[in-house]
Amino acid sequence: MKIFEIKNCKKCFNGIKVLDDVSFSVEEGEVVAIIGSSGSGKTTLLRICTFLEYMDNGEMTYLSDKIVSSVNDKAVYIGQNTLSLDALNKNKELTRIKSYFGLVFQNFNLFPHWTVLKNVMDAAVSVQKRDKDEVKEKAMFYLKKMGLENKSASYPCELSGGQQQRVAIARALCLEPKIIFFDEPTSALDPELTSEILKVIKELAKEKRTMVIVTHEMNFARDVADRVVFVDNGVVVEEGDAYELITNPQKERTKRFLQKYNE
């Protein structure tokens, strides 16, 4: 079953093409890694998937919910057709659709004035209107899984970067999304903390969670992802089985990119 699909996504910033006809889809239980050099458009792609940016043209579907359709070469969002970030934020339909996915940021973006537990719980209670006791149990379950059950009363500033990122992952999990996007989840961390986070994501992959990970960790992408999408200059250059693509890339551009990691 397809959990997520984006088709022919186009995006310009001030007349400069950032994404040109990008398409990819994610099956249930699949882990897809998006790789590519800085400025290739992969973060923009992830931001479009999570409604932090709007696309100019293209289609996007979560499960069987078609959220963006292409009409007369323009993206039309469900519930309205105005194209602006402001309109996206006000879009009531999207509030419902946002429970399909979670996003883990490069810089964690925890809420500093809340305890770890409240960070993990609050959206489930005040956005999804779930029962507080049930959510608390779930939050503690995920914190335990992240090895942070004894940090539930701490504030984010009292935690290491790796711990903060694990809280952010627990926060995303607590909303029970169908798919989790990771935007370079280890780029703000040192190598030791990086391996700590990668281990956690590997665990989630073993549980067959559906995930899309933008990453610069090629070994990780090779070992954990099922499929890899290589993006360069706003287009998908190559896509395929993770191990195959990383160990034996077909396209010249992909070879050159991967070579830099082996030097």
Partner 1 sequence: MINLNSIIIQVLGGAGASLLIFFSTLVISLPLGLLMAFPRMSKIKPINYIFGFVISLLRGTPLMLQLIVWYYGPYYIFGATLGLSWRVPAIIIGFSINYAAYFAEIFRSGIQSIPVGQYEAASVLGYSRTQTFFKIVFPQMLKRVIPPVTNEIITLVKDTSLAFVITYSEMFTVAKQIAAAKTTIVPLFVAGSFYYIFNYLVAFVMEKVEKAFNYYK
Half-sphere exposure of 51 (CA within 13 A, CB side): 23
Q: Does 185 bind partner 1 (CB under 8 A)?
A: no
Please report, as residue ranges, which positions from 36 to 75 form the binding site for partner 1 (by CB under 8 A): 50-52
Q: Least CB distance from residue 240 to partner 1, whole Å?
A: 29
Q: Does 187 bind partner 1 (CB under 8 A)?
A: no
Phi, psi of 10 (to 5 degrees): -120, 140
> How do strand 2-13 and strand 57-62 relate by DSSP bridges?
antiparallel
Where helices occur in 61-190 by DSSP H, the ranges are 85-90, 92-97, 116-126, 132-145, 161-174
Token pair 């979560």 is found at 62
DSSP single-letter state for residue 156: G
Query: Of these, 66, 81, 82, 111, which contacts partner 1 (CB under 8 A)?
Result: 111
| CA angle in degrees (0–180, nearest 5) for 184-19-56 | 115
Select the residue interacting with partner 1 from 2, 13, 71, 113 (CB under 8 A): 113
Q: Is 112 in the site for partner 1 (CB under 8 A)?
A: yes
User: Residue 241, Cβ neighbours under 10 Å: how many?
Assistant: 13
Question: How many residues belong to the site for partner 1 (CB under 8 A)?
Answer: 29
Question: What burial class does residue 124 get, using C-beta atoms within 10 Å of its C-beta: 0-12 exposed, 13-18 middle, 19+ buried?
Answer: buried
Choices 34-42, 64-72, 126-134, 135-143 (CB under 8 A): range interacting with partner 1: 126-134
In angstroms, the CA 68 to CA 6 distance is 9
| 45 CA to centre of own chain | 10
Tell me the closest approach of the beta carbon of residue 210 to partner 1, in angstroms: 16
Closest CA to 18 of 73, 57, 50: 57
Give yes or no for residue 105 binding partner 1 (CB under 8 A).
yes
Instruction: Using the minimum distance from each CB to partner 1, give the nearer residue, 158 or 203.
Output: 158
- Minimum distance between the CB of residue 99 and partner 1, rounded to whole angstroms? 6
Distance CA(12)–CA(162), nearest Å, equals 34
The one among 9, 31, 35, 123 contacting partner 1 by CB under 8 A: 123
Two tokens, residue 230: 């290589």
Smallest separation, CB 186 to partner 1 (Å): 17
Hey, which residues between 150 and 169 contact partner 1 (CB under 8 A)? 155-157
Does residue number 82 form part of the binding site for partner 1 (CB under 8 A)?
A: no
Query: Least distance in Å: CB of 104 to partner 1?
Result: 9
Q: Does 27 bind partner 1 (CB under 8 A)?
A: no
112 or 255: CB nearest partner 1: 112
Contacting partner 1 (CB under 8 A), which of 39, 66, 127, 247? 127
Binding residues for partner 1 (CB under 8 A): 50-52, 86, 89-90, 95, 98-99, 101-103, 105, 107, 109-113, 122-123, 126-128, 155-157, 171, 175
